[in-house]
Structure 1
């Protein structure tokens, strides 16, 4: 069961063309991500959670 050379050459050429074209088809430039901004609200909220946890532990230990 021999495969004709013309079909092997045809598929080789198609494979080369697809290899060359596929990166070009997917070359989309995405917008850069915005820079992270912090106004200190997250830090304040973290400190508040820690203080509430300390108050809870102290209340548990005192009673």
Structure 2
């Protein structure tokens, strides 16, 4: 029983090593660098954050202004 488990582990490790060594070499292709992103989204996120902060500021002002009248 123990020999079967050990032999299975040895065969699995050997198969994994063979695939790891030989398969990437067959699928490797030289490709150029990826193009630079035109926008990474941080400026859009920052603009949305500024709008939400402005809305929160206006709502806070209106809520507190209503307390005085």
What range is the shorter-chain TM-score in?
0.3 to 0.5
TM-score scaled by length of structure 2: 0.38
Structure with higher Rg: it is: 1
